[in-house]
Amino acid sequence: MTLEMRCFNAINCLWTVQILNFTTFIGCIAECNPPGTRDILITISPDRFIYNLYDVVNLVCPTGYQLVGPRRVFCNPEGSWHRDTTITSCRGSCSLDYLENEVEVTVKDEKLMSRSVHSGDVAYFSCDGIIIGNPVSTCYDQSWSPEIPSCLASSCGRPVSTNSVVLVFPDSPGSEYENGTDVKFSCPTGYDLQGDVESLCLYGVWDFTQEPTCQALPCTPLTQNDPSIIVSPNLTTYESGLEIRYSCPTSHVVNGTVFTFCELGNWKSPDTPECVSCNSSVQCALNSTRLDRDVLCTEEPHGNTDPPCYGHWSKFLSCKCRDPDYRLIHSNYVYWCSDQNGFDEMLYSLECRAPCSVGLNENVIATNSAGIETVIIQDGDYVQYSCPDGYMENGPATVACSDGTWMISQPFSCIGKLILRLHVSGSLFLLQKMVKCSHVK
């Protein structure tokens, strides 16, 4: 006999042949084609050409995407998937890559640690400054609605650096100026303000067109009483800080100020010198018996030193201590050979004060006030004694030096802790005992 069967769609026929009376089953068994999806991002797993009845497939989105719609379906006896997979889609997370670092994001009441937000989530934005834009935004399939905000500073730092001479009003050193604060600038006497006279703090930035600076006022040339005096350099205007020197024609020397400088629009010394003919009988000699024996003065020429001028206003002494460890008191002064046939009397009050030497006990560390390890402490400075780890300090740790003498004569030493290990009947005992550091090895 012949039996014809026909199945429709994805239905597979199962044949059985009738032999004698043993006809068991004739019918159709379902098969499913791969589930249909509209979203090309979806991967179907397992991926086959045909699926058998009750086979299960998973629909998967790539990482960073969220699946919306049926995600797990089975092949039912009608030869179709038990739920409609054509509505399944992948929705992308929204990136926060363009969000400023200082902006904090909260999603579902928790601070966000990653740099992306799932599609469908609502993000709340906050920052230490001022949020510009909408503080709440929803992610929907890779895009934010509305746009994510940005953050601007709510205050400004000082408008000029702290070492600038520009005066700021109101001034609040070290502190911040609130957004919207208006400040005014000025300069101390002797300076001229260049640039903006006021500025407004706008979201962390001062709205300068030109940053204010204070320019030191220049000096105009001094009117010289003596027309023969030579001024060098001879300019029409002098910058603050610039030095001028006076000199005289041959066989004349400068009587008076030899150099001066411009300081914020004024001359340090407004006195104008004159040229005098050299008086060779004016000769200055240093009386060494009156000078502190530790002071060393050297004679230096200045200006017109041609014969017969050498001496009178054309030489001076500059002094220092013979030993660089000594300290010179009342100086940094040059001593001129003026009209008085002798050097300036101040010279003879110069004094060199002796340093103190550190007599170090064993293990003692000595430093000066600058923290430098040394065995020579200058007059007026002090020694700071310390001990290595594990030693105890004994005696005054800070002692001042005055002209070669220690202000406290009591010595300083380090006391060590000696640990003796003794084996007694096989057991280990520790015996700790204080001994003088000189016994520690």
Ligand X SMILES: *[C@@H]1O[C@H](CO)[C@@H](O)[C@H](O)[C@H]1NC(C)=O
- 339 touches ligand X (CB under 6 A): yes
Query: CA 34, 36, 42: angle at the middle one, nearest 5?
Result: 95
- 297 touches ligand X (CB under 6 A): no
CA distance 347 to 286: 9
- Residue 294 or 325: which CB sits closer to ligand X? 294
- Identify residue 441 by its one-letter amino acid code: K
Shortest reach from residue 127's CB to ligand X, in Å: 12
- 234 touches ligand X (CB under 6 A): yes
Of 55-63, 80-88, 167-175, 223-231, which part binds ligand X (CB under 6 A)? 223-231
- 209 touches ligand X (CB under 6 A): no
Work out the number of other CB atoms within 10 angstroms of the CB of residue 104.
14
- 80 touches ligand X (CB under 6 A): no
- 175, 223, 281, 427: residue in contact with ligand X (rule CB under 6 A): 281
- 361 touches ligand X (CB under 6 A): no
- Identify residue 373 by its one-letter amino acid code: E
- Identify residue 300 by its one-letter amino acid code: E
- 27, 64, 77, 180: residue in contact with ligand X (rule CB under 6 A): 180
- 58, 126, 341, 386: residue in contact with ligand X (rule CB under 6 A): 341
- Residue 219 or 399: which CB sits closer to ligand X? 219
Contact 15, 63 (CB under 8 A): no
- 63, 210, 289, 432: residue in contact with ligand X (rule CB under 6 A): 289
- 345 touches ligand X (CB under 6 A): no
Listing DSSP states for 94-137 in one string gives EE-TTS-TT-EEEETTEE--SSEE-TT-EEEEE-SSEEES-SEE
CA dihedral (189, 190, 195, 197) in degrees, to 10, reads 10
- 224, 272, 367, 384: residue in contact with ligand X (rule CB under 6 A): 224
Work out the number of other CB atoms within 10 angstroms of the CB of residue 363.
17
Contact 59, 41 (CB under 8 A): no
Shortest reach from residue 202's CB to ligand X, in Å: 6
**Residues 237-276: x where in contact with ligand X by CB under 6 A, - otherwise, as a string:** ------------------xx-------------------x
CA distance 148 to 431: 72
3-state SS, residue 335: strand
Q: List contacts with ligand X (CB under 6 A).
A: 130, 179-180, 202, 224, 229-231, 234, 255-256, 276, 279, 281-282, 287, 289-290, 339, 341
